[in-house]
Amino acid sequence: MTDYREADFSRLRTVPIAQRPNKVDPSLLAHPPRPDGDPSFAAFWDSLPDILAARDLRYVAARLAHAAGRRAVVLMLGGHVVKVGLGPLLRELMHRGVVTHLALNGSAAIHDFELAAYGGTSEDVAAGLTDGTFGMAEETGREMNTAIAAGATAGRGMGEALMEYLQRRGKLAAPEVSVLVAAAERGIPVTVHATVGADIIHQHPAADGAALGATSHRDFKRLAASLPALDDGGVVLNLGSAVVMPEVFLKALTVARNLNGGKPTGFTACDCDMQRHYRPRVNVVERPTLAGGRGIQLTGHHEILIPLLCWAVIRQLDAR
């Protein structure tokens, strides 16, 4: 027969609640709209609880505002961030001098190029895959590959080549929403980090593997050269890239530290995505900040989370 033993609860020790440290008190809680009915974003922002993700969001916004004009802010983008309409907000941060380097994966560059040049992007993948027309828009493949090939010949990076092409193209359908165009206007370095075979322009007759490799590799070197300026107060934001940009950033960071005596350190690294992935957590948030700084993951739909962050930064810049 099994012998069961029970813990003697009568011997337990309790402590007065006054002696217990509390993580939450009324000063940290959310509050409803004020009696004066202030409808501003500032009132909404101030109403958020100072707890967990809301506290982290406030911290990242504050670090971005503090870094503006003082330290590097490297903005890394995945394609979904562009195609859900966030380019105009990111452009505002660029025009206000917050962003010092724009790094895109291939899909982010394609979505932005299409919006600028043709006024539309984002196709029905399932429908196009059925008949083999997915990714086969003739103008996108021809023009972007032409720009990249010309850039390779001229010793340009892919980002620089695409920016220059849009500047020379003449009529653009929607330049006012493009981060590539904004970077050209502000003189902000742009790098594009391609994964050969992963982007729709690679399946076109005009695709040149040598040009893709040469321009993207040059951009890898350029990203590595931008990272030392993160030291002691900079910010790197990974917005919506689950694999490519976290992998590229990790390698660029080790190059930068190899060439600069272990710097940069002491920066804020933030990943913003719809769900938490291994590579952004480890390669952006955790490993790079072990030598100093802070890593944060903010999780939520891009089209909700990133506007909150951008508006908060703009509010703090306006209050300077």
Low-confidence ranges of the chain (pLDDT < 70): none
* Pick from 184, 237, 215, 230: nearest CA to 76: 237
Q: How far apart are CA 269 and CA 281, in angstroms?
A: 10
Q: Domain limits of the chain?
A: 50-318
Q: How far apart are CA 48 and CA 66, in angstroms?
A: 21
Domain 50-318 annotated CATH 3.40.910.10: yes
Residue-wise pLDDT for 184-195, tens only, equals 999 999 999 999
pTM as predicted: 0.94
Residue-wise pLDDT for 209-258, tens only, equals 999 999 999 999 999 999 999 999 999 999 999 999 999 999 999 999 99
* Pick from 282, 277, 281, 276: nearest CA to 299: 276
* Residue 213 · residue 238 · CB < 8 Å: no
Q: How far apart are CA 246 and CA 244, in angstroms?
A: 6
Work out the mean pLDDT of the chain and round it to a whole number: 97
